[in-house]
């Protein structure tokens, strides 16, 4: 169906809710539901303020995909426990199961792809969309999805849903507005275990991306032997990091061509399964959060 599409970076948002809402927010039996309540309230705010016609919660079906680990073995390694499983905070997995049940009962579409992260799902859905898209996330890597046609913008949860467009990204980082993935390769990202190029900081990374555009273009310039366009000392630093530069873009760039099915992604006006919503609400003490979400949906539908 036509109309504004909003993509939720669900793992990013439920982690933010888990740590941002006190664990004293509990169900009637004392089980923490802070991540569930926080996620629903954040989504309600976005729906009320932006009034999308369509809504999709995008999921990690593999939080540390093999192709990214093969490219850069340190990718998210610091977040693993023995055996390679994700080091999740205690109780979050239970809350995620509850939240997914709630979203299903409400009729909010979810999307994921085996072997890929939510980033790739968002990248694919945003790329194939011809109309306006909002990407709601706390992950700066998603700035790479912004574009003027459509348009596609990022609502950045870390900054109270500040909207990022190509112009915003360019003004903040001094790079072409759609080139954040290239910038991230050079400067690195400790939160993802991405080392970056040793000795290349923000300003040099921005200058290189502005001059060459892509990592592949930088490597081609190294091969050509030219010194033109390289800030002082940067050519040698890139040369020393050639092996890393050859593989790292696979980590930072989202996949944009996943074989995702067509989704029934219309923003619900009323719950798909009202009886199950009531049962879940009573079991987990979600009346107020669910009422706020449904009220926001009604506002969106009244546009």
Secondary structure (DSSP) of 57-80? EE--S-SS-HHHHHH-TTTTGGGB
Q: How many CA atoms lie within 13 A of 143 on its CB side?
A: 30
Give CATH 1.10.150.20 domain extents, the chain. Answer: 180-252
The answer to whether 22 and 34 have CB atoms below 8 angstroms apart is: yes
Per-position pLDDT tens, the chain of length 303: 468 999 999 999 999 999 999 999 999 999 999 999 999 999 999 999 999 999 999 999 999 999 999 999 999 999 999 888 899 999 999 999 999 999 999 999 999 999 999 999 999 999 999 999 999 999 999 999 999 999 999 999 999 999 999 999 999 999 999 999 999 999 999 999 999 999 999 999 999 999 999 999 999 999 999 999 999 999 999 999 999 999 999 999 999 999 999 999 999 999 999 999 999 999 999 999 999 999 999 999 997
The CATH number of the domain covering residues in 180-252 = 1.10.150.20
The answer to whether 201 and 187 have CB atoms below 8 angstroms apart is: yes
Residues 6 or more apart in contact with residue 73 via CB below 8 angstroms: none
| pLDDT value of position 82 | 84
The answer to whether 199 and 233 have CB atoms below 8 angstroms apart is: yes
Q: Phi then psi for 9, rounded to 5 degrees?
A: -80, 80
Give CATH 3.40.50.1010 domain extents, the chain. Answer: 5-172+255-301
Residues 6 or more apart in contact with residue 86 via CB below 8 angstroms: 63, 64, 79, 80
Distance of CA 120 to the CA centre of its chain: 9
**Which one, of 269, 286, 279, 299, lies nearest residue 41 by Cα?**
286
Rounded Cα distance between 57 and 143, Å, is 18
| pLDDT value of position 303 | 75
The CATH number of the domain covering residues in 5-172+255-301 = 3.40.50.1010
């Amino acid at each position: 169906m036509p109309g504004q599409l909003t993509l939720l970076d669900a793992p990013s948002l439920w982690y933010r809710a888990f740590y941002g809402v006190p664990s004293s927010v509990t169900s009637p039996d004392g089980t923490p539901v802070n991540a569930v309540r926080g996620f629903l309230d954040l989504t309600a705010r976005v729906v009320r303020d932006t009034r999308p016609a369509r809504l999709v919660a995008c999921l990690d079906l593999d939080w540390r995909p093999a192709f990214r680990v093969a490219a850069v073995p340190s990718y998210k390694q610091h977040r693993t426990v023995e055996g390679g499983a994700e080091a999740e905070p205690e109780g979050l997995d239970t809350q995620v199961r509850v939240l997914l049940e709630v979203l299903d009962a409400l009729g909010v579409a979810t999307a994921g792809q085996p072997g890929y992260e939510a980033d790739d799902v968002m990248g694919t859905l945003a790329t194939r969309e011809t109309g306006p898209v909002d990407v709601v996330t706390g992950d700066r890597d998603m700035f790479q999805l912004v574009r003027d046609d459509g348009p596609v913008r990022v609502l950045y949860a870390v900054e109270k849903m500040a909207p990022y467009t190509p112009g915003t990204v360019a003004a903040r980082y001094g790079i072409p507005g759609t080139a954040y993935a290239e910038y991230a390769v050079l400067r690195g990202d400790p939160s993802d275990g991405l080392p970056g190029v040793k000795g290349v900081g923000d300003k040099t990374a921005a200058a290189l991306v502005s001059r060459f555009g892509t990592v592949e273009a930088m490597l081609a310039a190294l091969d050509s032997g030219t010194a033109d366009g390289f800030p002082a000392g940067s050519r040698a630093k890139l040369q020393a990091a050639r092996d890393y530069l050859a593989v790292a873009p696979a980590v930072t760039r989202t996949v944009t061509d996943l074989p995702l099915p067509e989704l029934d992604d219309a923003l619900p006006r009323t719950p798909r399964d009202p009886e199950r919503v009531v049962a879940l609400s009573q079991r987990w003490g979600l009346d107020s959060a669910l009422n706020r979400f449904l009220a926001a949906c009604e506002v969106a539908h009244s546009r």
